[in-house]
């Protein structure tokens, strides 16, 4: 419930941000298409952040920390998190420096913006690299908070980050122009880190810097666990990059239309699917570590029923309220509004599938198996890319939403089959040899 409430508030804040951005830089009327450039500029650094940082954090850090927590090894938790912070900052810092240096060279291959839009995209993209570097520590602290089930501090920080963008758009834009939203985002990222850092320190975490903590032995386990997830997130982030590439070559505002429709869909997913999956993750990891597969199934079954019971009505409501959604984010050009409503309707259909995928993925990671779930994610990404690439010339921005829907359905089918087989294998492994 705590995560659901904070996710709801974060989603509301996100919609307010979208409305403020659209009011300040109206899609279809703004000559620079500033919102589309702003959205697209985060994708390249997001690609590397998700692939090389979150691939480790999301699949391995919580199960490893939860294993120590379940056995009362508090100092080992501190050593592991300290080592993770040091290594991840060094690695990602070098990576983004290279990206910043070559960004003007690769930018024309990532989007179809030209002239002033392309120049703005390059400047925004370099600043976005710094923002994602700040998120390395913020997300490492977040995994610790999930493990300790400290959900208020974890859940409120995305709201504060979004508030930074809103403040930047309203108060910084009159002073520094189109860079206002981005500098506001950097301010929000700093607050995001400070709050999470304070929460983990208050929760008992201590930095344990020593020769041994520079490279914790379990980092090698994390590396092997993250490799499949790297491929999966690479496919998913590649999907987003291609979507922006396609949309930036369509009518002005297409990147914004697709992103805003997806934001409404992801708001529902955040409140239901992500909140339930995150709240179950530590519990699933602990009972899996203890070998209690009966309780594991019980948590998973209850989570699935709750996801379906909430997702289906929410999906239907969003499908029917496209006009209200367009008004909320202050879309004012008639053709933009109609395109947005139809795009949102397609995204709404994907909600139950994506919500279930979040839960099933966390259940898979809790058993410390990442290869086949990664394959399922890659099926998702590649099928969405293929659909969008094939049908964009005829369907326009609708091909992006259609590709996303196809990817989520196939992801659910593959992941569901895998988890069923995985649990049967674990059941067999728990049978004593004498039996």
240-254 confidence digits (pLDDT tens): 888 888 887 777 778
Which pLDDT belongs to residue 75? 75
82 part of a folded domain:
yes
pLDDT category at 287 given cuts 50, 70, 90 is confident
Range from 24-28, 206-210, 236-240, 383-387 carrying the lowest mean pLDDT: 206-210
Tell whether the model's pLDDT for residue 68 goes beyond 70. Answer: yes
Q: How far apart are CA 213 and CA 226, in angstroms?
A: 20
CA atoms within 13 A on the CB side of 1: 0
Q: Are 137 and 193 in contact (CB under 8 A)?
A: yes
Average of per-residue pLDDT values in the chain: 85
Question: What mean pLDDT is predicted for residues 263-279?
Answer: 85
281 part of a folded domain:
yes
Helix residue spans in 168-292 (DSSP H) = 173-176, 180-202, 211-214, 218-248, 254-269, 275-289
pLDDT category at 99 given cuts 50, 70, 90 is very high
374 part of a folded domain:
yes
Domain extent for 205: 2-429
Range from 55-64, 171-180, 271-280, 374-383 carrying the lowest mean pLDDT: 55-64
216 part of a folded domain:
yes
435 part of a folded domain:
no
pLDDT category at 152 given cuts 50, 70, 90 is confident
Question: What mean pLDDT is predicted for residues 136-163?
Answer: 87
434 part of a folded domain:
no
Interaxial angle between packed helices 254-269 and 351-366, expressed in degrees from 0 to 180 and rounded to the nearest 10? 60
Number of domains in the chain: 1
Which pLDDT belongs to residue 154? 87
Which pLDDT belongs to residue 54? 80
Which pLDDT belongs to residue 352? 95
The better pLDDT of the pair 158, 255 is held by 158
Which position has the token pair 């996303």?
404
345 Cβ contact list (under 8 Å, min separation 6): 319, 322
Which position has the token pair 């070098």?
94
Q: How far apart are CA 317 and CA 219, in angstroms?
A: 44
Burial 131-151 (b: 16+ CB within 10 A, else e): bbbbbbbbbbbbbbbbbbbbb
Q: What is the DSSP letter of 251?
A: S
Which pLDDT belongs to residue 174? 94
Range from 10-19, 225-234, 332-341, 346-355 carrying the lowest mean pLDDT: 225-234
62 part of a folded domain:
yes
Which position has the token pair 């391995």?
60
pTM of the model: 0.76
Tell whether the model's pLDDT for residue 431 goes beyond 60. Answer: no
Which pLDDT belongs to residue 400? 92
Highest mean pLDDT among 79-88, 153-162, 413-422: 153-162
Range from 112-121, 292-301, 367-376 carrying the lowest mean pLDDT: 367-376
Question: What mean pLDDT is predicted for residues 124-148?
Answer: 89
pLDDT category at 187 given cuts 50, 70, 90 is very high
Question: What mean pLDDT is predicted for residues 45-54?
Answer: 85
Question: What mean pLDDT is predicted for residues 197-222?
Answer: 75
363 part of a folded domain:
yes
């Amino acid at each position: 419930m705590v995560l659901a409430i904070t996710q709801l508030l974060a989603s509301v804040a996100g919609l307010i941000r979208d409305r403020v951005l659209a009011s300040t830089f109206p899609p279809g009327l703004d000559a620079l298409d500033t919102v589309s450039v702003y959205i697209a500029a985060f994708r390249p650094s997001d690609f590397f952040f998700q692939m090389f940082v979150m691939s480790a954090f999301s699949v391995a850090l919580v199960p490893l920390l939860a294993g120590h927590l379940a056995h009362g090894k508090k100092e080992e938790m501190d050593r592991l998190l300290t080592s993770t912070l040091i290594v991840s900052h060094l690695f990602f810092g070098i990576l983004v420096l290279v990206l910043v240096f070559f960004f003007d060279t690769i930018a024309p291959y990532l989007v179809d913006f030209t002239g002033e839009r392309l120049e703005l995209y390059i400047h925004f993209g370099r600043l976005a690299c710094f923002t994602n570097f700040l998120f390395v520590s913020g997300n490492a602290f977040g995994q610790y908070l999930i493990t300790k089930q400290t959900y208020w501090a974890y859940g409120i920080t995305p709201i504060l980050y979004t508030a930074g963008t809103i403040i930047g758009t309203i108060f910084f834009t009159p002073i520094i122009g189109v860079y206002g939203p981005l500098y506001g985002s950097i301010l929000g990222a700093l607050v995001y880190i400070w709050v999470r850092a304070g929460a983990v320190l208050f929760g008992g975490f201590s930095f344990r810097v020593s020769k041994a903590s520079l490279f914790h032995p379990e980092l090698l386990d994390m590396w092997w666990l993250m490799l499949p997830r790297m491929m999966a997130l690479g496919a998913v982030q590649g999907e987003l990059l291609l979507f922006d590439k396609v949309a930036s070559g369509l009518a002005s505002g297409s990147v914004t239309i697709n992103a805003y429709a997806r934001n409404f869909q992801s708001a529902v997913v955040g409140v239901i699917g992500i909140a339930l999956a995150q709240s179950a993750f530590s519990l699933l990891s602990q009972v899996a570590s203890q070998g209690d597969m009966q309780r594991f199934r019980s948590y998973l079954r209850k989570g699935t029923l709750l996801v379906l019971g909430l997702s289906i009505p929410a999906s239907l409501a969003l499908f029917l309220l496209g006009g209200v959604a367009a008004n909320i984010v202050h879309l004012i050009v008639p053709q933009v509004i109609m395109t947005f409503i139809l795009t949102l309707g397609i995204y709404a259909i994907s909600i139950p599938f994506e919500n279930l995928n979040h839960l099933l993925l966390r259940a898979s990671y809790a058993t410390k198996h990442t290869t086949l779930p990664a394959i399922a994610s890659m099926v998702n990404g590649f099928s969405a890319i293929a659909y969008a690439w094939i049908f964009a010339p005829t369907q326009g921005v609708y091909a992006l939403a259609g590709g996303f829907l196809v990817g989520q359905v196939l992801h659910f089918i593959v992941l569901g089959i895998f988890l069923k087989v995985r649990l049967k294998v674990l059941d067999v492994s728990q049978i004593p040899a004498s039996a």
